[in-house]
Amino acid sequence: MKLTDLKTEFLEHLEIERGRSLKTIENYDHYLSRFVTFSKIADIGHNKLLLKVVSPSFGSAPFL
């Protein structure tokens, strides 16, 4: 599943299942879109996201 699809699914979950307000959904959408643009990985799956973006951020974390 592509990251953009996961974002849409997450936003729908917030709205429908968690009952979040429209403004909350808009804010999440804004910042998640900025993250996707920043990371330049809109079309890769979430597993590669963990390896490419998240893992290097936690590379020096003491709990790993």
Chain Cα centroid distance, residue 18: 17
Q: What is the pLDDT of residue 64?
A: 42
Q: What is the pLDDT of residue 2?
A: 76
Q: How far is it, in rounded angstroms, from Cα 22 to Cα 19? A: 9
- The H helix count followed by the E strand count for the chain is 4, 0
DSSP 2: B
Answer for the pair 3, 36: CB distance below 8 angstroms, yes or no: yes
Q: What is the pLDDT along the chain (64 residues), one digit of tens a residue?
A: 677 888 899 999 999 999 999 999 999 999 999 887 877 665 555 556 555 555 455 555 444 4
Residue type at 30 in one-letter notation: H
Residue 48, CA distances (Å) to 15, 25, 56 in order:
27, 25, 12
